[in-house]
């Protein structure tokens, strides 16, 4: 490549500088050392790639992701850094030296000193050098630096566990000298020694992240040299997910954010890399803990890390110092909050998950919290400690989320631990090039020959640079060992209720129309099969055999003993019979318009559908509009409207196990049932829902659906149906969750069947489903400093490929109660508690569940008060990380699932519970604690820019009437519904420019759409609302509410901080909690 | 003699349960299959125990009856609060894998085993007292024989069955 040449020219100088910069910048490699690094890394970690941030820092604004050839090189660097992360801890001290070059290097001086020196050192020395070279490569540089640094560490330290610093240089060497690659160890020494000093100056002290960044980039250059080798592979990866040259590396889905940087990784030169395992956590990790506390903004985290880095040399000592420094630096996270005195705890931007207190290098590789998140980012060492904290330990997963980029690996051997079958992941330790130690069971495994070759870089002998070791989220193409049978074709079966009641609602039109429109968009391939069944008191099948001139309807009236007439023609190949299918969809809505049949034989229809599906498995979509009344599975109305208020006598449990048993049968045959319930009356969702719950389907509920009387509901139904039909789908899936020895899985929450202690059977998996897992600490974790969780989802894609999607999460272990509290993730805790409360409602009673929620707050805060706070101050003292805990629990108590009062219909409550169990955390939190924005004064300040659209980002307000004002307009985003409340004295400007009405009185009573006006205010508002809608798989209806609107009650109900007829206000709730805590 | 056989059957049920739950815990069996094999055994066990209680009642054996009443009450409560099921039985394949429920069932199995074993050894003695007058001579020799068979069976069963449990773990 062209680049190589250039870089080479710059050669030594550039490389040196680069390294310096890199050292500091890369942070990760040296992690410990340079403060700057930490900053950098921290930022990076929070976001996904380093890129974005780095560019900013430089004077020259390079686009983060340039695709230039050069950039490719950069990527390498980046990748390297990530790859090596593991090792880094050790390295930390080294950072600087490498850049300087080769000289003779001895091992680094005391690491701490070096670091300090390095950091403080003015960038000047480096910068000059760095800058010149960088320009060409900018982008490269930063990435590259990272990696390089990593390399170095590896090399140098191979032997050394403690100080790897020197190693960093190796890479350079390697780049420079081919030989170095081969013999990392030898090369290293040379380079390392001199460098340190110089670098350091370059790196500015912790203070300015940006400056620091710059140096790193400079460092990059050297990498570029190396990169030459790798370039091709690398380049493709970062930028274009799909492009990768190597066959092995498919980026079908694009690299995940995480993935990208990592992909880049290929350090050509690294030979040794693995040398040490970072396993033994550097003291730094632990230290950071305080800083990491939940609420902290990323930046804060960084600081702490900085201090740590310095100290790192001695593990034990560092600890203390680091933590101390962390404290002083970051009071915010460690702060103890008196909730009774500080009212405005709700941040005005969306709450971010806490960053685990890990070494930057490890954290950088960690799984995205949207996919995989733990309620406690500091895992307590023992069950006793966990019990003391009274906080639930668990995971929240969104394993099949649509990702923009996801690295996909095709390899004939998938490297897994031989004893626990864990997939190789970024958190394993390479003992040397040939052996790796499992991070879950600690078994030492051999690295297979094939794994030694890195397809991305085309370099042999770098197992630690493989994408599997660089990405916490990765997908494997599974070979035939992972198949019990040939991958099934995508099979879609639609079961429609066509009784009189169903025809009345007019839903059939919408569904058939949607299906017609999306027939070509159904995920699938040439093998896709489709079939239809309709039922009222009898069951109707449709023969779509190729060659028929029109679909043929077959009626089975014997619902007591259902059989399948001509089974081979009922599920047909979509491509071959497309015209017949289209014919059928066009004529279906008209076929039953005159039906007088009011009975519904859902049970027998499901049995028939099951029989039809059982040879292949697939997806059944059932549309039901009333209580099933005929045949097996017939249900009786159980709801007594006047008893809604009493929490005791409500029927949350199924009245029959027919649906559950059928669901288990379906699950066994790899068929999932998705239930669409469109019903005005009580339909006993508690019983019907089992059919989806245990077959891993999903439930959709449209109360009072009617094509004429309820047009808003129709719009919502159509949008969601479209998403449903076209979203990704995985068939015949199983998901296994593994965790480090000592932890064990207690309970699963979600829609699936639990087949063994850690295995979920998911006949279908969809990207909108979330899962929760309760964990317990079975054995003491005192010997370990890190624990890992790995979820592996094996599924058949709609293209007929067997794939495994693996997510790995790594978290630190702590031994004190205070640290456990500091690492609490309040959103995840609330989400897990909600799941547990649903179970409790079903097994015990709703009031029990409500009490349990309140007790969860009281118990944990009492534990905090009695065990952590030394002095007993008055008020309600909570750790900063849990400052929103009482608020979220109060919001849960007022959520539809758990609220008391007469306004929740039983089916709606049960649907809300289904959603709690099946939704990913983000959406659950939104429905629990809606976001309130003021929208009558939207401005472009702080706005997001996405694809040329400007999306205003108004601050989030507290959910209290006191935040409302009559002269404003407020938008409440409650997940599945949006409510725009317009104050009586709202500015005329807003009324006319956004709502398009003359005055307040002319706002229609039932307004559900904003007119598209040609005004900046209107476009801002619409951009904001559509942006909110795009972020979720369901379609929230927008209600515009004025003083007298019927929806106003719902709006006020969602203001959870206020008092309602049956529930406490936030302040009253706090007083109650305080009273109990202080007992 | 019949009583002893029945007690042995109860012991067998208890051990069977313990093994079954252990197999579940170690992923040895599919919960659906396991529940299908366990559920039909629940009612017979409860009925046998209820039969004992009735017999004690008939024999006016108040002390023994008193000892057995708590278990009888527990059985009744347990069956009343069983999940919604169409067939007989207690165990629900969808909830059985919950760690709490699994641990509870295992603990229940061990407690019952202990209780039945105790009953097994005490029975011959009590038996002698309560039925002795009704059925005369045979009993005279019976207790000794019974004790022997009892201990034999006990040893055999523990040797045969316990290793399996340990193996499962």
Determine whether the interchain pair B98/A746 forms a contact, defined as Cβ–Cβ distance below 8 Å.
Answer: yes
**Dihedral sign (CA A826, A832, A833, A834):** positive
Instruction: Say if the Cβ atoms of B97 and A746 lie within 8 Å.
Output: no
Residue A267 has a pLDDT of: 37
Q: Mean pLDDT, to the nearest integer, of A220-244?
A: 34
Residues of B in contact with A776 (CB under 8 A): 99
| Out of A296-310, A677-691, A1041-1055, least confident range | A296-310
When mean pLDDT is compared across A169-173, A360-364, A630-634, A676-680, the lowest value belongs to: A169-173
In percent, the amount of chain A with pLDDT more than 90 equals 39
Chain A, nearest residue to B98 by Cα: A747
Residues 6+ apart with CB under 8 A from A666: A610, A613, A620, A672, A673, A691, A695, A763
The mean pLDDT of chain A is 73
pLDDT > 70 fraction of chain A, expressed in percent and rounded: 68
Q: Give the E-state strand segments of A306-449 in sequence order.
A: 336-338, 372-374, 379-380, 394-397, 408-410, 429-432, 435-437, 444-446
Stretch A875-898: mean pLDDT: 91
Q: How many CB atoms neighbour CB A904 within 10 A?
A: 19
The pLDDT score that the predictor gives to residue B127 is: 57
Partnered with residue A931 across adjacent β-strands are A973
Q: Is the pLDDT of residue A303 over 50?
A: no
- Contact yes or no for A692/A699 (Cβ under 8 A): yes
Token pair for A305: 């890390």
Contact A451, A466 (CB under 8 A): yes
Q: Which residues of B touch A757 (CB under 8 A)?
A: 24-25, 27, 97, 99
Give the three-class secondary structure for A678: coil
The mean per-residue pLDDT over the stretch A903-922 comes to 89
Q: What is the pLDDT averaged over residues A649-660?
A: 85
What is the predicted pLDDT for the residue at A643? 56
How many other β-carbons are positioned within 10 Å of the β-carbon of residue A297?
A: 16
Chain B residues within 8 A of A657 when measuring between CB atoms: 83-86
Among A318-322, A432-436, A619-623, B97-101, top mean pLDDT goes to: A619-623
| pLDDT at position A275 | 30
Q: Is the confidence metric ipTM above 0.90 for this complex?
A: no
Copy the structure tokens of residue A877.
């003292």
Report DSSP state, residue A243.
Answer: G
Q: What is the mean pLDDT of residues A16-23?
A: 36
Asked if the model's pLDDT at residue B158 lies above 60, the reply is no
Structure tokens at A573: 């190949």
Q: Is the pLDDT of residue A116 over 90?
A: no
Chain B hits for A664, CB-CB cut-off 8 Å, are 32, 93-94
Give chain A positions within 8 Å (CB) of B27: 756-759
Kind plus residue range of the DSSP H or E element containing A846: helix A846-867
pLDDT bin (cut points 50, 70, 90) of residue A685 is very high
Bridge partners (DSSP) of residue A932 are A957, A972
Give the separation between CA A979 and CA A1041, rounded to whole angstroms.
7
- pLDDT surpassing 50 at residue A388: yes
With contacts defined as CB-CB under 8 Å, which chain A residues touch B85?
657
Query: Tokens 């070279």 sit at which residue?
Result: A133
Indicate whether A423 pLDDT > 90: yes
A608-628: pLDDT as tens digits: 999 999 999 999 999 999 999
**A786: which residues sit within 8 A by CB, 6+ positions away?**
A279, A281, A285, A358, A362, A427, A439, A740, A810, A811, A812, A813
| CB–CB contact A747 B98 (8 Å) | yes
Listing DSSP states for A561-605 in one string gives: S---SSGGGTSEETTTTHHHHHHHHHHHHHHTTT-------HHHH
Query: CA-CA distance, A470 to A80, in Å (whole number)?
Result: 9
Residue A1042 has pLDDT above 80, yes or no: yes
Mean pLDDT of the A252-258 span: 35
Residue of B nearest to A758 (CA): B27
What pLDDT sits at residue A81? Answer: 36
Is A756's CB within 8 Å of B31's CB?
yes
Distance from CA of B8 to the nearest CA of A (A): 31
Separation CA A105–CA A960 (nearest Å): 64
Smallest Cα–Cα separation from A57: which of A223, A201, A215, A239?
A215
Q: Which residue of A has its CA nearest to B36?
A: A661
State how far residue A610 is from chain B, nearest Cα, in angstroms. Answer: 18
Q: What's A322's DSSP letter?
A: H
The string of DSSP letters for A750-816 reads SSSEEEETTEEEEEEE-TT--EEEEEEE-S--TT-SEEEEEEEEEEEETTS-EEEEEEEEEEEEE-S
pLDDT band at residue A998 under the 50/70/90 scheme? confident
Cα–Cα distance for residue pair A329/A334, rounded to 1 Å: 10
Show residues of chain A in contact with B93, CB under 8 Å.
664, 753
Please answer yes or no on whether A661 and B86 come within 8 Å at the CB atom. Answer: yes
Contact flag B97-A664 (C-beta cutoff 8 Å) = no
Structure-token pair, residue A493: 């079966």
Residue of B nearest to A665 (CA): B32
Residue of A nearest to B29 (CA): A756
Question: Which residues of B sit within 8 Å Cβ distance of A?
Answer: 24-25, 27, 30-32, 83-86, 93-94, 97-100
Q: Is the pLDDT of residue A940 over 90?
A: no
Report the alpha-carbon distance of residue A91 to residue A95 in Å, rounded. Answer: 7
Q: Which of A37-46, A121-130, A461-470, A929-938 has the highest mean pLDDT?
A: A929-938
Helices (H), A951-1063: 988-990, 1016-1030, 1048-1053
Contacts of A633 in chain B (CB under 8 A): none
Cβ neighbours of residue A157 closer than 8 Å, sequence gap 6 or more: A87, A90, A91, A94, A163, A164, A165, A166, A167, A272, A275, A276
Q: Which of A448-452, A786-790, A907-911 has the lowest mean pLDDT?
A: A448-452
Element (H, E) at A534: strand A529-535
pLDDT at residue A573, rounded to an integer: 92
Q: pLDDT at residue A4 above 70? A: no
Of A657, A694, A757, the CB nearest to B85: A657
The residues near A796 (Cβ < 8 Å, ≥ 6 apart) are A487, A488, A730, A731, A732, A733, A802, A803
A116-130, A538-552, A1027-1041, range with the lowest pLDDT: A116-130
Place A80 in a pLDDT band, splitting at 50, 70 and 90: very low
Which chain A residue's Cα is nearest to B25?
Answer: A757
Q: How far is B158 from chain A (nearest CA, A)?
A: 27
Residue that wins the pLDDT comparison between A1007 and B138: A1007
Asked which of A186-195, A358-367, B60-69 is least confident by mean pLDDT, the reply is A186-195
| Pick from A655, A748, A776: CB nearest B84 | A655
* B32–A745 CB contact, under 8 Å: no
Q: Which of A636, A657, A686, A752 to mutate to test the interface with B (most CBs of B within 10 A)?
A: A657
| Among A655, A664, A776, beta carbon nearest to B93 | A664
Nearest residue on chain B to A756, judged by CA atoms?
Answer: B27
Q: What is the pLDDT of residue B128?
A: 57
Residue ranges of chain A whose CB lies within 8 Å of a chain B CB: 653-658, 660-661, 664, 668, 694, 744-748, 753-759, 776
- Shortest Cα distance from B107 to chain A (angstroms)? 16
Per-residue pLDDT band for A646 (boundaries 50, 70, 90) equals low
Q: Which residue of B has its CA nearest to A773?
A: B98
Q: Which residues of chain B have a CB within 8 Å of the CB of A655?
A: 84
Which chain B positions have a beta carbon within 8 Å of A748's beta carbon? 97
| Nearest-neighbour CA in chain B from A611: distance (Å) | 19
H/E stretch holding B1 reads: none
Instruction: Tell me whether residue A224 is exposed, middle or buried, using C-beta atoms within 10 angstroms of its C-beta: 0 to 12, 13 to 18, 19 or more.
Output: buried
- Summarize the confidence of residues A172-183 as an average pLDDT: 34
- Which tokens hold the place of A479? 């070979």
3-state secondary structure at position A951: strand
Model pLDDT, residue A132: 36
Mean pLDDT of B84-88: 85
Q: How confident is the model at residue A641 (pLDDT cuts 50, 70, 90)?
A: low
Dist. CA A617–CA A669, nearest whole Å: 6
pLDDT bracket for residue A637 (50, 70, 90): confident
Both structure tokens of A865: 């008060």
pLDDT in tens, A799-817: 999 999 999 999 999 999 9
- Closest partner residue to B99 among A657, A660, A747, by Cβ? A747
Write down the pLDDT at residue A730.
94
Q: Is the pLDDT of residue B5 over 90?
A: no
> Lowest mean pLDDT: which of A321-335, A422-436, A965-979?
A321-335
As to burial, measured by CB atoms within 10 angstroms (0-12 exposed, 13-18 middle, 19+ buried), residue A684 is buried
| Site from B32, B83, B89, B97 to mutate, A interface, most A CB atoms within 10 angstroms | B97
Q: Which of A656, A753, A757 sits opposite B27 (nearest CB)?
A: A757
Confidence of residue A333 (pLDDT cuts 50, 70, 90): low
A-B C-beta contacts closer than 8 Å = 49
* Closest partner CB to B25 (pick from A653, A746, A757): A757
Q: Is the pLDDT of residue A407 over 80?
A: yes
pLDDT tens column, A920-930: 999 999 999 99
CA distance B48 to chain A (A): 27
| Cβ contact, residue pair B86, A655, below 8 Å | no
Beta strand ranges found along A49-117 (DSSP E)? none
Query: Nearest CB to A654: which of B84, B99, B100?
Result: B84
pLDDT given for residue A547 in this prediction? 81
* Cβ pair A772, A750 in contact under 8 A: yes
Residue pair A606/A675 in contact (Cβ under 8 Å)? The answer is no
Residue of chain A whose Cα is closest to the Cα of B87: A657
Q: Which of A654, A655, A757 is facing B97, going by the closest CB pair?
A: A757
Using DSSP's 3-state secondary structure scheme, residue A439 falls into coil
Q: What is the largest CA-CA distance in chain A?
A: 94
Q: Is the dihedral of CA A592, A597, A603, A605 positive or negative?
A: negative
| Whether the predicted pLDDT of A422 surpasses 90 | yes
């Amino acid at each position: 490549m062209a680049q190589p040449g250039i870089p080479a020219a710059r050669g030594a100088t550039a490389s040196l500088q680069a390294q310096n910069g890199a050292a500091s910048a890369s942070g990760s490699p040296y992690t410990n050392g340079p403060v700057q690094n930490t900053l950098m890394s921290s930022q990076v970690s929070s976001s996904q790639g380093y890129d974005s941030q780095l560019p900013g820092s430089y004077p020259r604004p390079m686009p983060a992701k340039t695709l230039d050839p050069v950039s490719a090189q950069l990527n390498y660097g980046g990748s390297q850094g990530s790859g090596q992360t593991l090792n880094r801890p050790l390295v930390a001290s080294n950072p600087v030296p490498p850049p300087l070059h080769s000289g003779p290097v001895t091992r680094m001086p005391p690491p701490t000193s070096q670091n300090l020196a390095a950091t403080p050192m003015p960038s000047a020395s480096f910068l000059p050098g760095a800058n010149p070279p960088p320009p060409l490569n900018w982008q490269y540089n930063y990435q590259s630096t990272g990696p390089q640094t990593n390399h170095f560490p590896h090399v140098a330290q191979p032997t050394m566990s403690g100080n790897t610093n020197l190693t960093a240089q190796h890479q350079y060497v390697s780049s420079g000298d081919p030989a170095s690659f081969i013999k990392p160890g030898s090369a290293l020494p040379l380079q390392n020694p001199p460098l340190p000093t110089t670098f350091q100056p370059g790196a500015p002290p912790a203070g300015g992240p940006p400056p620091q960044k710059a140096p790193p980039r400079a460092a990059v250059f050297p990498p570029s040299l190396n990169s030459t080798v790798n370039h091709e592979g690398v380049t493709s990866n970062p930028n274009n997910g799909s492009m990768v040259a190597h066959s092995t590396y498919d980026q079908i889905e694009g690299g995940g954010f995480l993935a990208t940087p990592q992909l880049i990784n290929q350090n050509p030169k690294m030979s040794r890399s693995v040398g040490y395992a970072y396993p033994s956590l550097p003291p730094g990790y632990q230290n950071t803990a305080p800083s990491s506390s939940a609420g902290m903004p990323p930046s804060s985290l960084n600081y702490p890390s900085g201090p740590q880095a310095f100290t790192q040399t001695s593990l034990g000592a560092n600890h203390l110092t680091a933590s101390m420094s962390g404290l002083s630096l970051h009071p915010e996270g460690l702060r103890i909050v008196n909730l009774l005195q500080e009212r405005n705890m709700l941040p005005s931007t969306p709450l971010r998950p806490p960053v685990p207190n890990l070494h930057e290098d490890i954290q950088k590789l960690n799984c995205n919290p949207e996919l995989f998140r733990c309620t406690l980012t500091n895992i307590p060492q023992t069950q006793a400690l966990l019990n003391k904290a009274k906080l639930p330990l668990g995971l929240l997963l969104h394993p099949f989320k649509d990702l923009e980029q996801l690295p996909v690996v095709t390899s004939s051997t998938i490297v897994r631990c031989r004893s626990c079958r864990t997939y190789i992941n970024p958190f394993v330790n390479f003992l040397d090039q040939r052996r790796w130690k499992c991070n879950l069971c600690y078994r030492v495994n051999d690295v297979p020959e094939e794994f030694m070759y890195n397809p991305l870089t085309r370099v042999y002998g770098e197992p630690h640079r493989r994408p599997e070791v660089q990405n916490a989220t990765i997908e494997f193409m599974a070979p035939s060992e992972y198949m019990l049978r040939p991958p099934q074709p995508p099979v879609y079966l639609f079961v429609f209720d066509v009784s009189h009641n169903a025809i009345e609602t007019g839903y059939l039109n919408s569904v058939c129309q949607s299906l017609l429109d999306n027939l070509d968009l159904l995920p699938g391939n040439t093998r896709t099969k489709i079939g239809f069944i309709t039922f009222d008191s009898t069951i109707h099948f449709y023969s779509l055999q190729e060659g028929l001139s029109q679909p043929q309807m077959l009626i089975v009236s014997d619902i007591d003993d259902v059989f399948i007439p001509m089974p081979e023609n009922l599920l047909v190949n979509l491509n071959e019979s497309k015209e017949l299918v289209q014919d059928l969809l066009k004529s279906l809505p008209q076929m039953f318009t005159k039906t007088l049949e009011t009975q519904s034989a859902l049970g027998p229809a499901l049995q028939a559908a099951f029989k039809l599906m059982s040879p292949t498995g697939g997806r059944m979509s059932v549309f039901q509009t009333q209580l099933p009344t005929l045949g097996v599975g017939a249900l009786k109305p159980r709801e007594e409207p006047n008893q809604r208020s009493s929490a005791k006598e409500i029927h949350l449990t199924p009245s029959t196990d027919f649906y559950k048993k059928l669901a288990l049968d379906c699950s066994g045959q790899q068929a999932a049932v998705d239930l669409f319930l469109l019903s005005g009356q009580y339909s006993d969702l508690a019983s019907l829902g089992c059919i989806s719950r245990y077959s891993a389907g999903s439930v959709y509920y449209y109360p009072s659906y009617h094509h004429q009387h309820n047009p808003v509901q129709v719009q919502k139904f159509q949008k969601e149906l479209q998403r449903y039909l076209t979203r990704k789908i995985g068939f015949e899936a199983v998901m296994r969750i593994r965790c480090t020895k000592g932890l064990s899985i207690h309970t699963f929450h979600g829609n699936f069947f639990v087949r063994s202690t850690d295995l979920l059977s998911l006949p279908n998996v969809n990207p909108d489903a979330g899962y929760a897992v309760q964990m317990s600490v079975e054995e003491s974790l005192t010997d370990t400093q890190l624990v890992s969780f790995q979820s592996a989802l094996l599924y058949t894609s709609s293209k007929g490929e067997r794939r495994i999607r693996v997510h790995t999460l790594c978290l630190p272990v702590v031994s004190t109660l205070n640290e456990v509290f500091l690492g609490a993730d309040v959103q995840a805790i609330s989400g897990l508690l909600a799941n547990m409360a649903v179970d409790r409602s079903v097994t015990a009673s709703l009031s029990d569940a409500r009490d349990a929620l309140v007790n969860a707050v009281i118990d944990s805060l009492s534990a905090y008060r009695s065990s952590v706070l030394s002095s007993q101050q008055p008020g309600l003292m909570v750790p900063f990380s849990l400052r929103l805990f009482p608020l979220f629990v109060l919001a849960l108590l007022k959520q539809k699932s758990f609220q008391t009062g007469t306004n929740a219909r039983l089916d709606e409550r049960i649907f809300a519970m289904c959603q709690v169990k099946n939704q990913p955390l983000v959406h659950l939190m939104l429905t629990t604690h809606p976001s309130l924005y003021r929208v009558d004064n939207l401005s472009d300040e702080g706005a997001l820019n996405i694809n040329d659209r400007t999306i205003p980002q108004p601050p989030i307000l507290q959910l209290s009437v006191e935040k409302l004002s009559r002269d404003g307009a407020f938008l409440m985003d409650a997940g599945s519904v949006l409510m725009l409340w317009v104050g009586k004295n709202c500015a005329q400007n807003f009324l006319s420019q956004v709502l398009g009405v003359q005055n307040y009185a002319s706002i229609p009573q039932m307004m559900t759409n904003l007119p598209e006006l040609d005004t900046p205010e209107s476009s801002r508002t619409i951009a904001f609302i559509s942006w909110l809608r795009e972020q979720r798989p369901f379609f929230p209806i927008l209600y515009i509410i004025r003083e007298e609107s019927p929806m106003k009650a719902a709006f006020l109900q969602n203001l959870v901080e206020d008092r309602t007829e049956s529930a406490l206000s936030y302040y009253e709730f706090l007083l109650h909690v305080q009273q109990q805590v202080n007992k | 003699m019949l009583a002893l056989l029945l007690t042995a059957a109860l012991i067998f049920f208890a051990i069977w349960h313990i093994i079954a739950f252990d197999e579940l815990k170690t992923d040895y069996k599919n919960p659906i299959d396991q529940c299908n094999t366990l559920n039909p055994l629940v009612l017979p066990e409860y009925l046998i125990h209820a039969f004992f209680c009735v017999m004690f009642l008939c024999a006016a054996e108040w002390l023994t009856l008193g000892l057995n009443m708590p278990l009888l009450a527990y059985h009744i409560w347990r069956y009343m609060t069983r999940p919604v099921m169409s067939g007989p039985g207690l165990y629900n394949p969808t909830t059985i894998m919950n760690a709490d429920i699994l641990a509870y069932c295992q603990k229940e199995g061990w407690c019952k085993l202990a209780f039945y074993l105790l009953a097994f050894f005490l029975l011959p003695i009590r038996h002698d007292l309560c039925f002795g007058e009704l059925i005369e001579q045979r009993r005279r020799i019976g207790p000794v024989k019974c004790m022997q068979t009892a201990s034999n069976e006990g040893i055999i069963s523990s040797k045969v069955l316990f290793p399996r449990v340990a193996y499962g773990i």
